Structure 1
């Protein structure tokens, strides 16, 4: 004998009911079937709504009834056909009885718990009647047995308590003589010892199925719903969540208590005591394996992980009773919990400081005001005499709970959970861990729930896959290349590095575009053109509002206003990757502040491309420093654009033409004066000096400019180019001087003895800088460990592709962190 229970979502339409019938028919080959059914989806709520409208003398209850009637008649017609007159008359009769009950409620202006139970019982009675007739039509040997004739309860209406001795006897006696292959039983409803209609409360249909299964001692109780079992997390909030194949009763209870909606723990107590497995399956996808709830070790073929799932409860209020007058004084807890019990307020979460100075507990937010009023009244004397403080109420909170039987046997689970929450700027308001150590619960802001579930799920259930959510400001030449590189390497990174990179937001100076699930990069340029109007603050606000885990803001601009927003991103624990050099070359105070914010909020602040584009210059420098080495001096050619210019300038070219070529090929800034003035190189050596541990400002760097005063005083880029033509002789003289000494011109940055300078130098044959070709950069680090032969880093130091690669490398560094 088998017991199958089908919930309201499984019965929401004739299509779904036909799927239920198909499932039942397939299983008849394995023996007799007892099919427990809920009301058709949405009907219980509609019945309650109609009842309350009628009680309030609102004639709209008739409209709600008509909707209920219409839904049942439509499903019945599609399944059975109205031409079955006997069936149609009986269905109309039951609906008429419902209408008369609602009319009576309207007339007497009263809806007692007893009448309410009678009202909602129509849902299961109607659905079970329709399904029974639909099965008969298909030629099945089927009968309906009203649960009110089997299950006997007390008279505690809306949540009646079962009289198991007589109930079990009724069930055994009936099925001992039943001859039908399929028995349909309406769930949720019962009758009292005095023949009053009662209901079994929340999860009542599951409870009915569990009562029948336990009485008959079946091998398995099957609960069919609209999901494929219990998931590692709510799949609506965590896209990577997946069904749990096997789970213990205790784990299922914990997950359900903390918000998992598949199962209501009290409803399955009858089968739990007998260790009858519960199999949760999906009516809409019956081929899916589902979840088996059991304590039987034979189901577990492999070692169970420490954590089984993570879940949450929203709409939580946290109440704190505290005061020095509580310490060492007995009775405070008793009085507190008594007042809550008297008001029938359920405590969801509780923790108490070891000092006895405070008690903190969580309740439903809707009951917070009542709890506050009641507690303050009970402790009025203690509050007036300053022994305790008035009850403190915090709202808009949630509980997240990590659940697993093996948590207590694995060290560091709590540490991993709280660490990943902290790294994502999720503040923990309270913590509790049961004595069984089967769950770790934390109270957080409700706005952070989705992020919290995702980061904890990622840490414990996704094979160490890390999702990075990218927001890019500046999608010009370099930005475009970065987007294309991410698009190209996405699958590779996921497969080989377990990093899932998603671009969530893009912005240029005109428009911005967002998608919380990740932008489709197929036509991202066209999509961005149709995006919303862009502002820097709106972009920041949207990133904060989305509140995604492992968020990274990438600045690929030369905009000072963008750099001023870094601190706001870092304070939200959003990593910052900067191509823009302005922030790191601004005042020492500002630079140090950003570094401190990065540490304080566990938000990486990376700017590898500030020096050397894609070359690992800053990363190498940081590794030297971290290993205990110390920088003594630095010599470098740090401008790919200037190196390109002087490598291509000679007596047969014009300086103006070479600079123009460099700009057209993307080696210089749109305003080439930034490169040629030496300011850009000065910023780079400043950044290297600071990363070497020295405090310095841009004004401290000596800049020996090779430009003329005419060049430096130009007002516009066009004016600047005109002055280059006018001063061609000046530049030819530089070239001629170097050539006469068999030297080559290089723009060199130097740091030594806490002093730095930049300027054009004549480099002799044999020097490491002499053969530096094209747009290459070179850096020589002299350190305590490399005092004579420096550590040299050399390679392409300009260009959109290599700069984008450098930004991409910073993203991967964050992913590997």
Structure 2
């Protein structure tokens, strides 16, 4: 024998109720079935709302009542094809509606709604739905749950009288029909015989009570989801169905907001070791979630993450609590007497404070009764008035295997800390099945996502990227991410989710990810214009986020500090921040280190060459950088490789610009400013304190060429050709070449146009390549050489991509 419970959504539409019919009739072919049904989806809320209208004397209660009648009539008209059955059902349903209307009218006339009356009103949802389902299902017989579910009043609430109920259930089902249809939720007071209920979600409880009393083979809960999910799929897109849970794990998840089944449902069947299967009425082929006593070959330490919004943390504190027996008893007895549920407790080992988590709606009452209970102690100063902090959320990670896995709590708090999320209070039982903690409510979504990702509950690790700059480098980067997207998911289990793209004038943001095929068109849309980059990035409050700067903007570089402070990693192709004032450079690095995020800028020097990373590796291994010699400007190297008898100096500069090697204003390259910045960055990475002003400059273009407009510069530039050609001919005769070299030796820096002969490592440097010679204490006699492409959008974008991947793989 099986017990099948169908929730409101399972009887809420024609499609779902016909699916219910098919499921039940299929099961009934092989064994007797008990079907427990909820009210049609949304009807219980409508019954309560309509009673409140009647109580206030609002005539609209009639309209709401008529809408309920119409909905049930339309359902019957559509699904019951037998004329006689349909007429009989209409008579039953209309009788019930006549009773309900009389009750509403009485409330409307006397402006009084007692608990007894309210219980009677809400019972009609299940009374109506059970009649419909019993008529619809072949062989269905409706049984009245008020005949066998008994309650008593305790602390203002209806509590099940278990022994009496079990006896009555067994008597009622002695002659088991083929399909017994039972209205869930409804019960009767054992003393007064008044209609009562088992509370919201009580239909699940009804089904569990019957299953336990009749020693059912299984209890099936049919709902509108495929089963228990690893997290709320409305918040976490990568959440998936959990195949199996233990009773304890299911109970923990239910208690902390997983609304798949009503928490009290588990206990009656757990005692009898009856498995619970959670199935989807709309997807009956899905295996769902099986809940049982023990899970075989269970390797995962964490099964799921659940949460409760609207948490208030009340702190009871005072010196008089230390070592005094009975304080906690008074706290919990007082709250219990008021009917207030406490779902989390955290107490300091010094015993001078106890924090309790309650729902926001219970907070005011809890504070009031606790202040009353400890009024004398508060008056004498031995205790402080209750402190309540609202707007919080409680999160629980659940899994029985946590007790066999060391380091779970450390990983939990470390993960949250790196994401900038502070834990306000936490609690963990000795069983180690549940670790619960309280965070600011605004961090709930971020907390759930980062934990789901961190504990490998997600199919993919997610990195959320904000890309600023869609020019040559930014455009190439986006194209590289788009082309590698599927490969990275399949090969690395990594999902690069581009959630923001900004140009100089517009920005588009979507936490679910932006379509990289047509992002340029999206940036042209009116709604994308004028958005504040900082506010959008920080306001998204998204987990595992990385800001990628592919601009050369001073204003964008100025935002790095704010991003790092909000636990957003920064990857910069923009070299202005790392070459800025030394104090600012160090502050950025310290903030990243303190916050547990990343500030990376490998492409600031040498585009895609691993120069900065190599220097850091050498230093981290205990080596000391003594000297750096480098050709760091691909633009200048291109110019001095191109210059020839038939290619004057001015023409080489023009070619550098046309082929995309130089800045739009080539004077930035010719002035040595770019090389100075790169040398400053390398010197700092090597462990020396240096400012741009400290670099000695020996330039090859007179200062007056850097004054005026770019057009003036192009007009004046050919005047240098003759001098350069004369010097070039002399250089060629000597078998030498020009290289613009940046040098650092023991912290002293300079940049200069140097002549190198055929024996020098820089002599054969071709095209726009860069080269770096590192002399260290270990590499003293034979310096380390790094050489390769040092300019170009594709190479630079690839270097930025490599920085992104280095964060993703940590």
TM-score (norm 2): 0.97
1:422-456: CA deviation from partner (whole Å, max 9, x where unpaired): 11111111111012211111111111111111111
SS at match of 1:426: coil
- 1:142 maps to 140
> Closer, same or farther in 2 for the Cα pair 1:162/1:362, shift >3 Å?
closer
* Selected match of 2:521 from 513, 526, 537: 526
Deviation of residue 191 (structure 1)? 2.0
SS at match of 1:453: helix
> Closer, same or farther in 2 for the Cα pair 1:655/1:453, shift >3 Å?
same
Q: CA RMSD in A?
A: 1.8
SS at match of 1:212: helix
Distance in 1 (alpha carbons) for counterparts of 2:173 and 2:76: 28
- 2:778 maps to 785
The reply on whether 1:729 has 2:729 as its aligned counterpart is no
- 2:189 maps to 192
Distance in 2 (alpha carbons) for counterparts of 1:212 and 1:391: 43
Deviation of residue 158 (structure 1)? 8.6
- 2:618 maps to 624
- 1:438 maps to 433
SS at match of 2:158: coil
The reply on whether 1:365 has 2:360 as its aligned counterpart is yes
- 2:652 maps to 658
Aligned pairs, number = 807
- 1:14 maps to 14
Unaligned runs of 5+ in 2: none
- 2:763 maps to 770
- 2:628 maps to 634
SS at match of 1:347: coil
> Closer, same or farther in 2 for the Cα pair 1:168/1:371, shift >3 Å?
closer
1:354-411: CA deviation from partner (whole Å, max 9, x where unpaired): 1112111111112223333333344344444443333222111111111111111111
Deviation of residue 496 (structure 1)? 2.3
Distance in 1 (alpha carbons) for counterparts of 2:498 and 2:294: 45
The answer (yes or no) to whether the contact 2:305–2:396 under 8 Å persists in 1 is: yes
- 2:593 maps to 599
SS at match of 1:307: coil
* Selected match of 2:167 from 156, 166, 169: 169
- 2:202 maps to 204
Deviation of residue 632 (structure 1)? 0.4
Deviation of residue 337 (structure 1)? 3.0
Distance in 2 (alpha carbons) for counterparts of 1:635 and 1:383: 72
* Selected match of 2:92 from 66, 90, 98: 90
Distance in 2 (alpha carbons) for counterparts of 1:482 and 1:346: 53
- 1:3 maps to 3
Distance in 2 (alpha carbons) for counterparts of 1:706 and 1:659: 13
- 2:697 maps to 703
- 1:50 maps to 50
The reply on whether 1:235 has 2:270 as its aligned counterpart is no
- 2:491 maps to 496
> Closer, same or farther in 2 for the Cα pair 1:115/1:156, shift >3 Å?
farther
The reply on whether 1:812 has 2:808 as its aligned counterpart is no
* Selected match of 2:672 from 663, 670, 678: 678
The answer (yes or no) to whether the contact 1:642–1:747 under 8 Å persists in 2 is: yes
1:93-134: CA deviation from partner (whole Å, max 9, x where unpaired): 221221111111111211111111111111001001111222
* Selected match of 1:473 from 468, 475, 484: 468
Deviation of residue 534 (structure 1)? 4.9
SS at match of 2:206: helix
Deviation of residue 204 (structure 1)? 1.1
Deviation of residue 630 (structure 1)? 0.6
Distance in 1 (alpha carbons) for counterparts of 2:298 and 2:340: 40
Deviation of residue 32 (structure 1)? 1.1
> Closer, same or farther in 2 for the Cα pair 1:665/1:384, shift >3 Å?
farther
Distance in 1 (alpha carbons) for counterparts of 2:37 and 2:345: 36
- 2:30 maps to 30
- 1:117 maps to 119
1:8-34: CA deviation from partner (whole Å, max 9, x where unpaired): 011111111001001111111221111
Deviation of residue 340 (structure 1)? 2.5
Q: How does 1:328-347 map to 2 (within 5 A)?
A: 328-347=323-342
Distance in 1 (alpha carbons) for counterparts of 2:266 and 2:411: 33
Distance in 2 (alpha carbons) for counterparts of 1:304 and 1:446: 32
SS at match of 2:389: strand
Distance in 1 (alpha carbons) for counterparts of 2:411 and 2:599: 23
- 1:411 maps to 406
Distance in 2 (alpha carbons) for counterparts of 1:154 and 1:258: 27
The answer (yes or no) to whether the contact 2:251–2:266 under 8 Å persists in 1 is: no
1:552-597: CA deviation from partner (whole Å, max 9, x where unpaired): 0011111111111100000011000011111111111110110100
SS at match of 1:706: coil
The reply on whether 1:108 has 2:110 as its aligned counterpart is yes
The answer (yes or no) to whether the contact 2:310–2:393 under 8 Å persists in 1 is: yes
Distance in 2 (alpha carbons) for counterparts of 1:611 and 1:339: 67
> Closer, same or farther in 2 for the Cα pair 1:477/1:56, shift >3 Å?
same
TM-score (norm 1): 0.96
Deviation of residue 639 (structure 1)? 0.3
The answer (yes or no) to whether the contact 1:76–1:82 under 8 Å persists in 2 is: no
